[in-house]
A and B are shown apart, each in its own frame.
Chain A
C-alpha cells in the first residue's frame, strides 16, 4: 500500500494535465519505485485509481514498456546493448561473460535478488561499443576484464536497506 502523502502527490500530478491519463506513466514509475522495482497487482489497482484509467488498460501499459516489471526484479538492473555497433564490437562475449559471472541467463534474476540481466536496444553510446548500463551508470567500451570490477563495485554499494537502494535508483 502507498502512503496517503504519495497518493496525494500522484493524484495532484495527474490533475495537472487536461487529461488525468497523461500522468499515468509517471505514476507507474513512482509506484514501481515504491514497491522496490516492480509493479505488483496492488500497484496496478492504485495506478488505475489515481489516473482514472481502467485496470485492464493500466495492465496493457505495464506490459508494453520494457522498463515496467510485472514480477520482482533484482536490486540492480544490468542491461547489455545487443544492437548493431555493439554486436560488431563483441557484445555477445560481454553478455556471455556476465551470464557466467552472475550464474544466470539473459532475462533472469540472481537467486539472491541482487541482479537482473537483460538485453537492451542501442544505448546511444555506439562510439564506445560494446556498452552496458548498470542502474543509471553507463559503461563503454566494456572489456571482459572490466566486468568483475563493475559487478563488485555495484554489489559493494548495496549496503543497508532496500530503501537506500530505492533512493539511488529513483528514475527521475
Chain B
C-alpha cells in the first residue's frame, strides 16, 4: 500500500485509525487498540455532536440532506431523505438502530470502524438521534464481532461518564440511551426488517414493506436503521459542513467511501477513497494488482450479492450511479477479485451454497429454488452436468426473486452474471466433464 496513494483523498472516517501505524491493519483489525475517549476528543471528536445539539433538529436533518450522503449499507439511499419520512410529531418512543451485522461475504469495512474508533460511531448516533428526536438507540452487532461489542460497551460507558449519553446530554435537555445488542447469528439479520424482528426476540424473518420502518418499525414505532459507515460520516459533516462533504467525492459524488479488495489481489485491504474512484485504481494501485501473476477475470464489486464485472468495465468509477449503469451495484464497495485460473462454475457453486445455507426459509422461491440451483451448479462443477442444466439455471435465475426481501435478488445477481458472462465455462464443463482451467479452484 503506497503511502502516496492515500493522500489522494482526505482521510475522514479512518483518521483515528490510521495513526496507529504505516499499515492500516497490521495484524488484523482486531489487533489495533481502539481509539479511546481522550484521544478521540483531542483529535476533534464530539465537535460535530456539540454543534448539532445547538441547532434545531430539522436543521441537522437539512445539513445531512444538503451533504448528499447516501446509505453505505448497500442500497445507496439518500440518508437525509430516509430520515425525512420519520413523523416528527409522533408522540411515543422513536428508535435509532445501527446495523452492524456485516455478513455480506467479501465485506469487512464496518469491523474496522467499530474496532478502531468506537467513539466515532457513538457520536454519530447521538447526532442522528438528536436530528430525529429519538431517545433510544441500539447497535445491532453480529455475534462474531463480540469483541467489538465489548469495545463499544466500554466506549459507551466512557461516553456516559462524560455526559454524552444518558439524560440531558451536555445540558442540552436531550436524552439518549444506547444499548449494544449482540446478535445470535444468521446473515438475514442484516436485512433491516429481519433485524427488527430479531431485535424484538423473534426469528429473523423479513417483514413485507410497506409499511416502512421509518413509520412502523421496532415494536411498531418509527425507526431508522442505518449502516455503521453511513452513520460515521455524520460527525464530520456536522463539524465541517455539507459543502465540504460534497467536495470530497469525484465527479459530483459526495464524500469518501471505504473501499476494500480481497481474493486474488496482491495486497488485500481497506482504503478510504473519494466516492467515484475508478475500480482499476483500487485493484492495481491500492491492492497491488493480481496476486498470482495472472490477469483478472472478473470482479464482484460490492459484496457477494452484486453482479460480476469484467475487465472491460474496470474503468467504471466506484459510485452508486456509475456501477449501476455498468449493470451491477456498488453495494459495500468491497471488491472480490478472481483471476483467469479460477473456475467460475466452482466459484458459483460456493456462492450458491452461501445463499442456500443462509436463506431464512420464509419464501418458497428462495427456500426451494436456491438449493435446486446449488445442486445443479455443483453437479456441473463436478463434471456431472447434463444437457439442459443451463436451461434450468436460466429459468430458475429469472424467477427466484419473487420474494419478500432482497435476499433472493442478491443471490440472483452473481448467478445471472455468471451464467451469462461465463456461459462458455458452464458449457465446456457439461460437454467435457472437466474445467477449462484444468486446475479448478485454488
Q: For the complex formed, measure the closest distance between the CB of B412 and the CB atoms of chain A, giving whole angstroms.
A: 16
Contact of A22 (CB < 8 Å), options: B108, B219, B342, B358: B219
- B263→A61 contact, CB < 8 A: no
List CB contacts (< 8 Å) of A78-94 with chain B: 79, 82-85, 87-90, 92-93
The yes or no answer to A51 lying at the interface (CB within 8 A) is yes
B254 contact set on A, CB distance < 8 A:
none
B contacts with A: majority SS:
mixed
B199 contact set on A, CB distance < 8 A:
22
A32 nearest in chain B by CB position: B184
List CB contacts (< 8 Å) of B99-147 with chain A: 102-108, 110-111, 142-147
B353 nearest in chain A by CB position: A82
B182 nearest in chain A by CB position: A172
- B145→A126 contact, CB < 8 A: no
A51 contact set on B, CB distance < 8 A:
201
The yes or no answer to B351 lying at the interface (CB within 8 A) is yes
- A126→B106 contact, CB < 8 A: yes
Q: For the complex formed, measure the closest distance between the CB of B353 and the CB atoms of chain A, giving whole angstroms.
A: 8
Contact of B201 (CB < 8 Å), options: A18, A23, A92: A23
The yes or no answer to A143 lying at the interface (CB within 8 A) is no
Of A1-9, A96-104, A115-123, A151-159, the stretch lying at the interface with chain B is A115-123
Q: For the complex formed, measure the closest distance between the CB of A109 and the CB atoms of chain B, giving whole angstroms.
A: 18
The yes or no answer to B378 lying at the interface (CB within 8 A) is no
- A25→B354 contact, CB < 8 A: no
The yes or no answer to B384 lying at the interface (CB within 8 A) is no
- B106→A67 contact, CB < 8 A: no
A19 contact set on B, CB distance < 8 A:
200-201, 219
**What per-residue 1/0 map shows which CB atoms of A11-52 lie under 8 Å from chain B?**
000000011011111101100000000000000000000010
List CB contacts (< 8 Å) of B57-114 with chain A: 93, 102-108, 110-111
A29 contact set on B, CB distance < 8 A:
182, 184
- A83→B108 contact, CB < 8 A: no
A24 contact set on B, CB distance < 8 A:
201
B268 contact set on A, CB distance < 8 A:
85, 126-129
- B201→A126 contact, CB < 8 A: no
Give bound CA distance, A140 to B30, whole Å. 11
- B149→A172 contact, CB < 8 A: yes
Contact of A124 (CB < 8 Å), options: B102, B201, B203, B300: B102
- A84→B300 contact, CB < 8 A: yes
A92 contact set on B, CB distance < 8 A:
442
B262 contact set on A, CB distance < 8 A:
85, 126-127, 129
- B260→A171 contact, CB < 8 A: no
- B182→A171 contact, CB < 8 A: yes
- A121→B28 contact, CB < 8 A: no
Contact of B354 (CB < 8 Å), options: A68, A79, A84, A123: A84
- B334→A126 contact, CB < 8 A: yes
List CB contacts (< 8 Å) of B165-209 with chain A: 181-187, 198-204
Give bound CA distance, A101 to B270, whole Å. 33
Give bound CA distance, A126 to B108, whole Å. 7
Q: For the complex formed, measure the closest distance between the CB of B49 and the CB atoms of chain A, giving whole angstroms.
A: 25
Give bound CA distance, A18 to B138, whole Å. 14
- B105→A28 contact, CB < 8 A: no
Give bound CA distance, A140 to B108, whole Å. 13
Q: For the complex formed, measure the closest distance between the CB of A55 and the CB atoms of chain B, giving whole angstroms.
A: 14
A139 nearest in chain B by CB position: B28
The yes or no answer to B269 lying at the interface (CB within 8 A) is yes
The yes or no answer to B381 lying at the interface (CB within 8 A) is no
Give bound CA distance, A87 to B353, whole Å. 12
- A84→B260 contact, CB < 8 A: no
The yes or no answer to A161 lying at the interface (CB within 8 A) is no
The answer to whether A122 and B104 touch (CB under 8 A), given A84-B336, A89-B442, is: yes
Q: For the complex formed, measure the closest distance between the CB of A117 and the CB atoms of chain B, giving whole angstroms.
A: 16
Give bound CA distance, A120 to B143, whole Å. 11
- A85→B105 contact, CB < 8 A: yes
B160 contact set on A, CB distance < 8 A:
none
B358 contact set on A, CB distance < 8 A:
121
- A21→B201 contact, CB < 8 A: yes
9 contacts across the A-B interface (CB closer than 8 A): A24-B201, A25-B181, A25-B198, A29-B182, A67-B185, A88-B342, A89-B442, A124-B107, A127-B269
- B interface residues (Cβ-Cβ under 8 A, vs A): 25, 28-30, 93, 102-108, 110-111, 142-147, 149-150, 153, 181-187, 198-204, 219, 260-264, 268-270, 300, 304, 334, 336, 338, 342, 347, 350-351, 353-354, 357-358, 360, 441-442
